[in-house]
Structure 1
Amino acid sequence: MKIIAVHEHPHLLDSAVQFFWEKWGTEENFTFYQDCMIHSGKTEDGIPRFYAAILDE
């Protein structure tokens, strides 16, 4: 297993958004999660950041 920063692996963005949203989101906030993940890592203070554990690729 390895821990990755989602913003460093854009090819996993859609899967990550879907996973995080299904676990903690509501019907109204899918685009909020998507926007946060798209823009994570692009701010000077580094917030927000999303990480994922990847098992067997």
Structure 2
Amino acid sequence: MFLVVLNIFIELLYVGVCLLCFQHLMIEKGSLWESAAETTDGQKSTMKQYGPGE
């Protein structure tokens, strides 16, 4: 019984790590797309907040 619980826990952990990595990749792609879209609009306020000059 303990081995079954351990196996399920390891699988859940593995799936969770995969989802986190996938989410991170999608966020990076999304931010790249957002910055590309923002440069065409001339508004870089969402992702990059350096200062009034940029």
Q: What's the TM-score, normalizing by structure 1? A: 0.28
Higher relative contact order (CA 8 A, sep 6+): 1
Structure showing the higher helix proportion among its residues: 2
Which structure has the larger Rg?
Answer: 2
> TM-score, with normalisation over the residues of structure 2?
0.29
